[in-house]
Amino acid sequence: MKKALVPTLVLVISMLAYQRAVSQQGASSRAESMDKSAAATYEHLASAIIAIEATEDELVKSILLGYHAAAQGHLKAAAMDEKGRASHLEAAASEISNIANEGDKRIQAVRQRLAKAGHTHNTDAVTKEDFMFINSKEKKDIVALARRVGQMGESAKTADVRAVADELGTMFDKAIAPE
């Protein structure tokens, strides 16, 4: 019996060592599998965040394009309608201001909410303001143009209104051009 006990003990100890090695290998492969899964999930999250930011950029760009189209429409109407010129110029000035501020009050409220949550875009080196397309120098120039348009009044000449429309177009195209 003693002779049979030693080989049996060797066999039992070998089997336990084998089971332990297999279970550790399983745990190791599970940990590796978890790491791969976590990395893949994080990669998908990064792709989603990048896609959301690109979508936000395009949304804000389309909002700015809308303000620009409205301003140009009012400037065109002002050039053609001498009697209503002042009201069209005031409306154009308002739309130009919306361009400078990258949004009207409702859009700015959303942007402020996002900023409070830590979502920022580009920080202007001079003013430390957050912006997406219109930096502080462009904003200053566009605000000055809006002020000038608002002050033109009914006595503005058609050629002057058209010149302002061209100036706005140039400024706007430069501001929203890809960097």
Residue 152 domain-assigned?
A: yes
Residue-wise burial string across 90-115, b where 16 or more C-beta atoms lie within 10 A, e elsewhere: bbbbbbbbbbbbbbeeebeeebeeee
Confidence (pLDDT) at 14: 57
Residue 35 domain-assigned?
A: no
Q: Which residue type is seen at 75?
A: L
Query: How many other C-beta atoms can be found within 10 angstroms of the C-beta atom of residue 75?
Result: 27
pLDDT per residue of the chain (179 residues) written in tens, 0 to 9: 445 555 554 555 655 555 665 555 555 677 777 888 888 888 888 888 888 888 999 999 999 999 999 999 999 999 999 899 999 999 999 999 999 999 999 999 998 888 888 887 777 777 777 778 899 899 999 999 999 999 998 889 999 999 999 999 999 999 998 87
Residue 19 domain-assigned?
A: no
Residue 55 domain-assigned?
A: no
Residue 68 domain-assigned?
A: yes
Residue 86 domain-assigned?
A: yes
Residue 116 domain-assigned?
A: yes
- For the chain, the domain total comes to 1
User: What is the token pair recorded at 12?
Assistant: 């039992």
Residue 150: give the domain boundaries.
62-179
Residue 15 domain-assigned?
A: no
